[in-house]
A and B are shown apart, each in its own frame.
Chain A
Amino acid sequence: MYRLTDFYRLSATLTGYDEVELQGTGVGPTYCKTLSQWVRQDVIQELYHRAEEIGSLECESNQAQFYERIWNCAKLGPVARNIIKMWYLSIWYQLPADWNALYGVDDFSADKQPVEDYVISSNAYIQGLVWNALGSHPMGAKQPGYGTWAFPGQSAKPLNLD
């Protein structure tokens, strides 16, 4: 079981992209599934639950809570960081060994971590948020067109070249 709406809401907080932008990538369901493949349900539920309790991070006291209860929490922090990396880089990184020893193994299966970091899929690579964030396109895909590199680029301010 995984909860896509909760996943999008939390992802928006973590990535700095709004839910519409995230949905537009088309890879949200894959990431949500990936998360529940490698992280125990109760841990994921706890993460969603706490994020909901804390609410918007626009106000400073909520931010402090976010750091304390999620970002710096030994159990939830590494999961939150993995979710950001998934969205930005399309990679699932192995969770740290000490985290895994404490929270990774449940009663039903012995081995709950992949043997190595991996790229989630071709399409995920292409949808990585990092490319959009840096004002370009994924290397090898979404080609911008002949000669476009001669112009300042979407994020660069036009420079005075005279």
Chain B
Amino acid sequence: MTHHHKEYDVVIVGAGIAGAIMAKQLGEQGKQVLILEAGTGTDGRFFDQGKEKGYESYMARFFTAMAKIPNAPYPNNPNAPQPLVTDIQKPPLDKPVSDHGYFVQYGPDPFASTYTRSEGGTTLHWLGTCLRMLPEDFELKTRFGRGRDWPISYQDLQPWYEIAEQHIGVSANADVQTYQQIDNPSVQLPFEANYDYPMEQIPQSFLDQYLAKGLQGMQVEIDNQPYPIDVVATPQGRNGMPRGDYRPVGAVGNPDLGQRCAGNSNCVPICPIQAKYSALKTLEQAKNTGNVTIETQAVAYNLEVDHKTQHISKVHYKRYHSTKSAAYDDKTVKGKVVVLAAHAVENAKLLLASNVANSSDQVGRNLMDHPTMLTWGLMPCKIGAFRGPGSTSGIPSLRGGAFRAEQAAFRIEIGNWGWSWPEGAPIATVPELIDEQNLFGPALRHKIAEEYPRMFRFGFLVEQLPDPDNRVTIDDQYRDQLGNYRPVIHYKVTDYTRAGMAQAKEVSDAIFQRLGVEPFTKYKTSDPGYVQYQGKGYVYNGAGHLVGTHLMGDDPKTSVVNREQRSWDHPNLYLVGCGNMPTIATSNPTLTMAALTFWAADNVLNALDQY
């Protein structure tokens, strides 16, 4: 390898969706691009190539994993360690949980989200929900006196949303996604006239239809104001029926069947037929431009600054030989432009380790997620649980409204896989039927047949505000085996968010009552995510939506990047990923981040023209 002798137009750190979009856009314009990727690769990326190292090896790992957690299919790699949901503990009051897993957590509340460090990044195991943000989400401070405003508006981002939706291949119907049918103007979304998504809406599950009918006309009251409860299909980054001559990238299998989502019900952690979008598809397109090189097993650990120009002059990285040992070569590479796309936490870590881009002291701060509260129960009749994509609909009616001055907004996700999230059903729950309920033979079979198809859960994705004390830092004491920093995290869930959780629980109770759902929700004090609000207990989980660690703003004193997503401090350094987002609002963040990344790629191209 001779990369360290060569100067690239652009060096990108990270081969997730953000890095892949950037590489593809630049490669298509003839720019010479190198992607440094910390994780291992899949060689032949698609299903039918390379059984041993390819995508299929992930499937085998998944099938035989005891805990089917989001990272289960992807190799554990001590040279590019990643957080696991099974590592999450309640931080003790007096000392950090330093020994458990990758994150070092100081609390007071545990940060419960994870990501993936292998080629393709976290979209390997994302669910694929692709919602736009609401116009009011961009102006939280102005409208509600909370959080921050974005330096851009919904209108500014709107054309980039369209590009991102076309690229990911989102399945949805625009007339449904405007939310014009919802009697709450705060949530309504302006779409460009005549615009539609590239693929038709994924059919709603039987459960969705059942809920939609049962909840028709339902309202809840917040601050004496009525809000409707409407079930709406969710836009999804998985293949449905293409509109016109649109064809999704990299679909495998039978072109009449395999291209579409076939209902493997396994989107998190891995879609066996790659009907779900992952960044591997964009990387394939990037490579096909002939101008993009991906170097895997390459962990960037330092950015060197030319103090005369303030340009990033070199990227230092460790190229390890295998996942089995810590042996590595120390290398450097130059790019006219450097783009960090290593994910919110890793971007912040790399900036802090290099002591760059931080004149505002905001790097690593304002870490946000969607604390996700679940409620679950048994429907009065069989609704055919454990089928289809993880979620095909939600209840978006409380994503916005005047109440945001006082408490968090939230989006309700309808889960299609029974109690798999809260209880690990069926694998984790069947032993109890045998060991404690003493069921066997036909009685066991009958119990499962009668009860499991009635299992049902909601997920409430609750908004969090940017808080400078919720942060990622680094500490010399905590390093991984390559000698790189481990993320040290301080995190709390404030009353604003807790009030949203309490409100969400009330809405859930009202829905359960209306539908005759037998509740089974239990919030145990021993749960790591257990929190209290006004004397009542709730439990949150991580959503995997890590936002805010290098946020965008219009003032270099209070933000890390400008609206072009360029570092205020270094003219040739761009940051991409959810870390740029000043607030998290209620939509899963990746679509918005992808839209921003297309925009950033345009800005990089313009900048390169000036060299």
Which positions in A face B, CB cutoff 8 Å?
Answer: 13-17, 57, 71, 80-81, 84-85, 88-89, 91, 93, 116-119, 121-122, 125-126, 129-131, 133-137, 139-141, 143-153, 155-157, 159, 161
Q: List 11 A-B contacts (CB under 8 A).
A: A85-B431, A119-B64, A134-B386, A134-B426, A135-B382, A135-B452, A136-B386, A139-B386, A144-B263, A144-B387, A146-B261
Q: How far is the CB of A68 from chain B (nearest CB, A)?
A: 13
Whole-angstrom CA separation of A136 from B66 in the bound complex: 20
Interface hits, B8-53 → A, CB 8 Å: none
Q: Is the CB of B387 within 8 A of A133?
A: no
Known pairs A121-B64, A137-B265, A145-B263; A17 contacts B427 (CB<8 A): no
Whole-angstrom CA separation of A81 from B389 in the bound complex: 33
Q: B384 near A: Cβ within 8 Å?
A: yes
Q: Is the CB of B388 within 8 A of A134?
A: no
Q: B210 near A: Cβ within 8 Å?
A: yes
Whole-angstrom CA separation of A43 from B3 in the bound complex: 63
Among the listed A57, A116, A146, which residue makes an inter-chain contact with B263, where contact means beta carbons less than 8 Å apart? A146
Whole-angstrom CA separation of A151 from B453 in the bound complex: 13
- Which residues from B are CB-within-8-Å of A126? 63
Whole-angstrom CA separation of A35 from B454 in the bound complex: 33
Complex: chain B residue closest to A93, CB-CB = B431
Complex: chain A residue closest to B448, CB-CB = A133
Q: Is the CB of B264 within 8 A of A149?
A: no
Whole-angstrom CA separation of A147 from B202 in the bound complex: 7
Q: Is the CB of B273 within 8 A of A149?
A: no
Q: Is the CB of A15 within 8 A of B209?
A: no
- Which residues from A are CB-within-8-Å of B430? 85, 88-89, 130
Most buried by B among A129, A136, A139, A153: A139
Known pairs A16-B441, A118-B66; A141 contacts B210 (CB<8 A): no
Per-residue contact bits, chain B 52-80, to A (CB 8 Å; 1 contact, 0 not):
00000001101111101000000000000
Q: Is the CB of A161 within 8 A of B209?
A: yes
Whole-angstrom CA separation of A121 from B389 in the bound complex: 25
SS class, residues of chain A in contact with chain B = loop
Q: Is the CB of B272 within 8 A of A140?
A: yes
Most buried by B among A13, A118, A151: A151
Whole-angstrom CA separation of A49 from B387 in the bound complex: 41
Q: How far is the CB of A103 from chain B (nearest CB, A)?
A: 18
Among the listed B266, B431, B438, B446, which residue makes an inter-chain contact with A140, where contact means beta carbons less than 8 Å apart? B266
Complex: chain A residue closest to B266, CB-CB = A140
Q: Is the CB of A157 within 8 A of B381?
A: yes
Q: Is the CB of A134 within 8 A of B66?
A: no
Whole-angstrom CA separation of A151 from B438 in the bound complex: 33
Q: B206 near A: Cβ within 8 Å?
A: yes
Whole-angstrom CA separation of A14 from B453 in the bound complex: 22
Q: B586 near A: Cβ within 8 Å?
A: no
Q: How far is the CB of A115 from chain B (nearest CB, A)?
A: 12
Q: Is the CB of A122 within 8 A of B453?
A: no
Q: Is the CB of B384 within 8 A of A140?
A: no
Whole-angstrom CA separation of A129 from B453 in the bound complex: 15
Q: How far is the CB of B242 from chain A (nearest CB, A)?
A: 12
- Which residues from A are CB-within-8-Å of B381? 156-157, 159
- Which residues from B are CB-within-8-Å of A125? 63-64
Q: B607 near A: Cβ within 8 Å?
A: no
- Which residues from A are CB-within-8-Å of B60? 122
Whole-angstrom CA separation of A125 from B385 in the bound complex: 19
Per-residue contact bits, chain B 406-432, to A (CB 8 Å; 1 contact, 0 not):
000000000011001000001100110
- Which residues from A are CB-within-8-Å of B453? 134-136, 153, 155-156
Q: Is the CB of A153 within 8 A of B206?
A: yes
Leading 7 A-B pairs by shortest Cβ distance: A149-B388, A153-B384, A156-B382, A140-B266, A16-B445, A134-B452, A122-B63
- Which residues from A are CB-within-8-Å of B448? 130, 133-134
Q: Is the CB of A161 within 8 A of B210?
A: yes
Q: Is the CB of A140 within 8 A of B261?
A: no
Q: Is the CB of B59 within 8 A of A140?
A: yes
Most buried by B among A81, A88, A144, A161: A88
Complex: chain B residue closest to A122, CB-CB = B63
Complex: chain B residue closest to A140, CB-CB = B266
- Which residues from B are CB-within-8-Å of A14? 440-441
Q: Is the CB of B382 within 8 A of A157?
A: yes
Q: B91 near A: Cβ within 8 Å?
A: no
Among the listed A144, A145, A159, which residue makes an inter-chain contact with B210, where contact means beta carbons less than 8 Å apart? A159
Q: Is the CB of B384 within 8 A of A149?
A: yes
Complex: chain B residue closest to A67, CB-CB = B438
Q: B442 near A: Cβ within 8 Å?
A: yes
Q: How far is the CB of B286 from chain A (nearest CB, A)?
A: 28
- Which residues from B are CB-within-8-Å of A91? 66, 427
Q: Is the CB of A149 within 8 A of B63?
A: no
Q: Is the CB of A148 within 8 A of B263?
A: yes
Q: How far is the CB of A101 from chain B (nearest CB, A)?
A: 19
Per-residue contact bits, chain B 198-218, to A (CB 8 Å; 1 contact, 0 not):
000001111001100100000
Most buried by B among A141, A151, A156: A156
Q: Is the CB of A144 within 8 A of B262?
A: yes
Q: B222 near A: Cβ within 8 Å?
A: no
Whole-angstrom CA separation of A14 from B385 in the bound complex: 25
- Which residues from B are CB-within-8-Å of A85? 430-431, 434
Complex: chain A residue closest to B268, CB-CB = A139
- Which residues from B are CB-within-8-Å of A151? 206, 384
Per-residue contact bits, chain B 341-370, to A (CB 8 Å; 1 contact, 0 not):
000000000000000000000000000000
Q: Is the CB of B443 within 8 A of A139?
A: no
Among the listed A57, A81, A150, which residue makes an inter-chain contact with B206, where contact means beta carbons less than 8 Å apart? A150
Known pairs A134-B453, A147-B203; A140 contacts B63 (CB<8 A): yes
Whole-angstrom CA separation of A57 from B244 in the bound complex: 60
Q: Is the CB of B59 within 8 A of A143?
A: no
